[in-house]
Structure 1
Amino acid sequence: MFSKKHFLVAAAAAMLSSTTAQAQKVEFTEYDLPNGLHVILHQDKSAPVVAVSVMYHVGSKNEQVGRSGFAHFFEHLLFEGSQNIKRGEFMKLVSSNGGQNNANTSHDRTFYYEVFPSNQLKLGLWLESERMLHPVINEVGVKTQNEVVKEEKRMRIDNSPYGNFTNEIFKRLFTKHPYTWQPIGSMADLDAAKLEEFQAFFKKYYVPNNAVLSIAGDIDIAQTKELVNAYFGPVPKGAPVNYQKVVEAPITKMIVDTAYDANIQIPAIMSAYRVPGMSEKDSKTMEMISSILSGGASSKLYKKMVDEKKSALQVGAFNFALEDYGAYITYALPNNNTPLPDLLKDIDAEVANLQNNLISEEDYKKIQNQFENNYVTANSTMLGVAENLASGYTFHNKNTNNINQELDKIRGISRQDIQAAARKYLQPNSRVVLYYLPAQAKTAN
């Protein structure tokens, strides 16, 4: 959701946390309530701020064919109110008490949060317990948020240049797994869904035993435990959430296809490879490879194709890390009418160089420094710490301490690991190549 107002106290909170301090070990307390809610508490009294967050282990991959978009829809729907919060009052309660709030949905989880002055901890806990305990899910709310989601889709995807490219990539890269559709889903699916289906989706996934409550900031641990028990203890435990990964067969022959976008004038060429999920070491290695290839103006692809040859207006590579699988994607937009296949050849040449040669010690050190800085930045706010603690538990085999192991994992990736991952996953016969063209090109061919 994008329409939440930011207040001065929240902005100050983001600035006041010391990056130097957060680079040190993150201390935390964790435990389970009898209803299965996993609770993580981190005390940091450097600023009078607290982040209250709930991560539900539900995303678009938990949806059924013909009913896509439910998880993202609930990102919006659960702001409608509860039995004790009138419609439209949720965000007013946050803003009038000096805080900010938001939510976001991925293929794998939905994340809600509030950042408050620390004297409003009770309010944050009450709001999130209301969301979990007895939200109002009725026809009025469903119809209202249906229109909100439709407008979001129009703005972010339908009417945005290159806004649909991830959908076009994923529906070719995945044929069986629910990753084949994007979190925003299908508006036709949402229109066709009945109220009882939305209510059943909530009852199944938005339960304490499928959630992590993560609180970080200026708190007293013992007092916070009492408050958590008071607000969340009464929430009834749900049925066990059983999820089984859908296994995709390996791609053994290159898939070449074309997609059209009415919102673009400059074509693009993209390639995508299916890679391991985010908890695997190779996922972080692929992230490093993307930085080597396109992380800034000194990266291999940018220097070669934008600066030197001037064949590309833009070029990039990134690892789209998800829980079950990842998608490693490269892209380029031509300059000076450079043929798209030539751009792909140049990208492939740099990939081949990684496969055939170890990167230099200088490049390796630079990448290590970049990733260490990224780690520090990710934990430089109370909200960042709260989210990373919850993510460690949710996606790394209940290892909340993953937040303190990330640096060692980064430092443990060698030049040889980078070369081996490039060889293993970036093979031409295991990828999707997509020509992403202006819509008018469809009638010209």
Structure 2
Amino acid sequence: MKKRLLSAAAVSFLGMIINAQQIKFEEYDLPNGLHVILHQDNTAPVVTTGVMYHVGAKDEAVGRTGMAHFFEHLLFEGTKNIKRGDWFKIVSSNGGTNNANTTNDRTYYYETFPSNNEQLGLWMESERMKSGTVNQIGVDTQREVVKEEKRLRMDNQPYGNLFTAVQNNLFTKHPYHWSTIGSMEDLNAATLSEFQDFYKKFYVPNNATLVVAGDIKPEQTKKWILEYYGDIPKGKLYPKNFPKDEPITKEKEVTVTDKNIQLPAYVFAYRTPSNKEKDAYILDMLSSYLSNGKSSVLYKKLVDQEKKALQVQAFNQGLEDAGIFAFFAIPMGSTAKNTLQSDIDAEIKKLQTTLISEEDYQKLQNQFENQFVNSNSSIQGIASSLATNHVLMGDTNLINKELDIYRSVSRQDIMNAAKKYLNPNQRIIINYLPEKK
């Protein structure tokens, strides 16, 4: 009893801390359409400068997949004023770090420097935006880099193409149909002029959000931003009218083979709403309840107690236009697919007919409070959250409201979401099997 009281007090204290930690920011637009977000935090002498472009794999043309991710590599080649091969040298020699990443919906580049090099980070990202080097030597070099990355991460990795199989079958019309990294054939076929056109089309200020977070003096930062970005011409914005898939109303089963595996895997995948909708938050909590940690429902039952599965997971992938909720299971020994499917379906049925316990509900709330604190515990994390919330969610201030959304999710909401989205006639079953030799 004493331990439970202490735990409740600790949770209450954590809640007070979180409520007190409102993340302050300022945002505005330059005349060329560049959206700027500033967050001042002078507790540590570091600054993150990030630029998120609203271009991802879904913006690619059929037959030219992989272009968005390709630029994540290509735009470190250099600029008009940064020689080829010097980007990383400049960053490291000035005490900084940098990285980039691409999703189906956006591409994000950032540098973190000691705050006395804030101006350098701003200048470098402006160079990338207005004069990134897109020439044949860079394309040829990075094409091989990306192809090798695809071989290492996907083609030669056990279960490396499993998520691609999910995308291929869950979406047939929407460009979420293909993977972010694209195909070898498309990467080989793309010409220099196509890469140059892609850069001109999407790497424009009115398709970008600049975030500067950390030990800054906002008025000085604004002057540098105007100096470096203000004269970059506005580009044409293209409508994102992507074809939509009809609702899944009949269960479909497909088989995919993988030469790199010895054990089969089974996926039960459902198409779900955009991450802008509250149901996406509910499904996040639902997936955590089912398989986050060794005490979760599916792990405890199928892996720990009954030893029917070597691995089992439920995950919710939130995307801008739709979502993916899927169960993934690798059987233990001779366990049949139908056994795993029946057990997973039984847990779904429980969720659809019985409210989760108050204890499990509070555990979920604690998990998401911790997750929120961790994701915004660094300047880099805050910068990424601010940019993501503006570009993909349409509300920068979600950084201060998102936890309240999770807190507002009730046990009844979880039951309703399970009823609405996790029905057999709404899913794709993927039998991911070893390739016969």
The TM-score by the shorter chain falls in which range?
over 0.9
Instruction: Give 2:349's aligned residue.
Output: 352
Amino acid at match of 2:113: F
Instruction: Give 1:283's aligned residue.
Output: 280
CA contact (8 A) 1:23 1:379 kept: no
Moved over 6 A (4+): none
Q: Please point out which of 192, 201, 207 is paired with 2:198.
A: 201
Alignment of 1:116-195 (within 5 A): 116-195=113-192
Q: Please point out which of 262, 265, 268 is paired with 2:265.
A: 268
Q: Please point out which of 318, 329, 341 is paired with 1:321.
A: 318
Q: Please point out which of 333, 337, 341 is paired with 1:340.
A: 337
The answer to whether the aligner puts 1:378 opposite 2:375 as a matched pair is yes
Amino acid at match of 1:48: P
Q: Please point out which of 415, 418, 421 is paired with 2:414.
A: 418
1:12-52 deviation per Cα after TM superposition (whole angstroms, max 9, x unaligned): xxxxxxx9679710000100001100000000011001100
Distance across 1 between alignment mates of 2:229 and 2:306 = 60
CA contact (8 A) 2:102 2:180 kept: yes
Instruction: Give 1:253's aligned residue.
Output: 250
Instruction: Give 1:428's aligned residue.
Output: 424
CA contact (8 A) 1:54 1:213 kept: yes
CA contact (8 A) 2:282 2:409 kept: yes
1:401-431 deviation per Cα after TM superposition (whole angstroms, max 9, x unaligned): 1110011101111111100000000010110
Distance across 1 between alignment mates of 2:168 and 2:426 = 15
Distance across 2 between alignment mates of 1:419 and 1:78 = 46
* Mean Cα deviation higher: 330-339 or 52-61: 330-339
1:308-360 deviation per Cα after TM superposition (whole angstroms, max 9, x unaligned): 11111110000011100011010111112101121111111101100111111
CA contact (8 A) 1:210 1:241 kept: no
- Superposed CA RMSD in Å reads 1.2
Distance across 1 between alignment mates of 2:378 and 2:19 = 8
Q: Return the offset for 1:282.
A: 0.5
Distance across 2 between alignment mates of 1:81 and 1:192 = 23
TM-score, with length taken from structure 2: 0.95
Aligned residue for 2:317, secondary structure, equals: strand
Q: Return the offset for 1:67.
A: 0.7
CA contact (8 A) 1:171 1:180 kept: yes
Q: Please point out which of 327, 331, 350 is paired with 2:328.
A: 331
1:198-233 deviation per Cα after TM superposition (whole angstroms, max 9, x unaligned): 111111111100000011100001110011111111
Instruction: Give 2:77's aligned residue.
Output: 80
TM-score, with length taken from structure 1: 0.93
1:57-113 deviation per Cα after TM superposition (whole angstroms, max 9, x unaligned): 000000111111100001101001011111110011000101100000000000000
Q: Return the offset for 1:131.
A: 0.3
Instruction: Give 1:295's aligned residue.
Output: 292
Distance across 1 between alignment mates of 2:327 and 2:139 = 38
CA contact (8 A) 2:18 2:373 kept: no
The answer to whether the aligner puts 1:306 opposite 2:324 as a matched pair is no
Q: Any stretches of 5+ residues in structure 1 without a counterpart?
A: 1-18
Distance across 2 between alignment mates of 1:187 and 1:211 = 28
* Mean Cα deviation higher: 48-57 or 387-396: 387-396
Give the length in aligned residue pairs: 422
Aligned residue for 1:370, secondary structure, equals: helix
Amino acid at match of 2:373: V
Amino acid at match of 1:166: F
Instruction: Give 1:15's aligned residue.
Output: none
Instruction: Give 1:6's aligned residue.
Output: none
Instruction: Give 2:397's aligned residue.
Output: 401
Amino acid at match of 1:436: Y
Distance across 2 between alignment mates of 1:246 and 1:373 = 38
Distance across 2 between alignment mates of 1:439 and 1:94 = 45
Amino acid at match of 2:403: L
Distance across 1 between alignment mates of 2:142 and 2:85 = 12
Q: 1:254 to 1:73 in 2, by over 3 A?
A: same
Aligned residue for 1:54, secondary structure, equals: strand
Distance across 2 between alignment mates of 1:136 and 1:108 = 23
Distance across 1 between alignment mates of 2:140 and 2:20 = 45
Instruction: Give 2:31's aligned residue.
Output: 34
Q: Any stretches of 5+ residues in structure 2 without a counterpart?
A: 1-15
CA contact (8 A) 1:315 1:331 kept: yes
Distance across 2 between alignment mates of 1:337 and 1:435 = 15
Instruction: Give 2:11's aligned residue.
Output: none
Aligned residue for 2:210, secondary structure, equals: strand
Instruction: Give 2:434's aligned residue.
Output: 438
The answer to whether the aligner puts 1:68 opposite 2:65 as a matched pair is yes
Instruction: Give 2:236's aligned residue.
Output: 239
* Mean Cα deviation higher: 332-341 or 63-72: 332-341
Amino acid at match of 1:101: N
Distance across 2 between alignment mates of 1:375 and 1:263 = 36
CA contact (8 A) 1:22 1:376 kept: no
Distance across 2 between alignment mates of 1:198 and 1:82 = 15
1:342-400 deviation per Cα after TM superposition (whole angstroms, max 9, x unaligned): 11111111011001111111100100110011011110010110111111111122x11
Distance across 2 between alignment mates of 1:311 and 1:136 = 53
Instruction: Give 1:97's aligned residue.
Output: 94
CA contact (8 A) 2:268 2:427 kept: yes
Amino acid at match of 2:182: G
Distance across 1 between alignment mates of 2:184 and 2:343 = 39
The answer to whether the aligner puts 1:46 opposite 2:38 as a matched pair is no
